[in-house]
Amino acid sequence: MNDIKTVKEIKNMAVLFRKAIEKLRDEGVFNDDFSFHHFPCGCCGDASDLLGQFLLDQGIETWYVCGTYIENFVDVCGESNLQSHAWLTTDNPDTREDFFIIDITGDQFNKNLEYNCRNEPVYVGRMDSFHKLFETESGDMHPSAPLYTLGMAAPRLIEKYNQIIKELENVYVDYQTQGHSLDL
Task: Specify the pLDDT at position 80.
Answer: 61
Task: Specify the pLDDT at position 2.
Answer: 40
Task: Specify the pLDDT at position 12.
Answer: 93
pLDDT average, residue stretch 96-119: 87
Considering the domain boundaries, does residue 92 fall inside one? yes
Whole-angstrom distance, CA of residue 92 vs CA of residue 94: 5
Considering the domain boundaries, does residue 180 fall inside one? no
- C-alpha dist (Å) from residue 18 to 38, 50, 167, 172: 13, 10, 11, 11
Choice between 119 and 23, residue whose per-residue pLDDT is larger? 23
Q: Which tens digits make up the pLDDT trace of 117-151?
A: 788 999 999 999 999 999 998 888 999 999 999 99
CB distance 4 to 11 below 8 Å: no
**If you write DSSP's letter for every residue of 100-142 in order, what string do you get?**
-EEESSGGGGTT-GGG-----SSEEES--HHHHTSB--GGGEE
pLDDT average, residue stretch 84-109: 93
Instruction: Report the DSSP beta bridge partners of residue 67.
Output: 85
Task: Specify the pLDDT at position 175.
Answer: 64
Q: Which of 49-53, 114-118, 177-181 has the largest mean confidence? A: 49-53
Residues of the chain with pLDDT > 70, as a percent, come to 86
Considering the domain boundaries, does residue 57 fall inside one? yes
- Dihedral Cα 126, 131, 135, 136, nearest 10 deg: -50
Q: How many domains does the chain have?
A: 1
Considering the domain boundaries, does residue 184 fall inside one? no
Q: How many CB atoms lie within 10 A of CB 72?
A: 8
- Dihedral Cα 103, 90, 97, 106, nearest 10 deg: 0
Residues 6+ apart with CB under 8 A from 182: 12, 16, 172, 175, 176
79 pLDDT tier (thresholds 50, 70, 90): low
Instruction: Print the domain residue range for 49.
Output: 4-172
Considering the domain boundaries, does residue 130 fall inside one? yes
pLDDT average, residue stretch 43-55: 97
5 pLDDT tier (thresholds 50, 70, 90): low
What average pLDDT is seen over the chain?
A: 88
Peptide bond connecting 155 to the previous residue in cis, omega within 30 degrees of 0:
no
Q: Is the pLDDT of residue 181 over 60?
A: no
Considering the domain boundaries, does residue 121 fall inside one? yes
Q: Is the pLDDT of residue 19 over 50?
A: yes
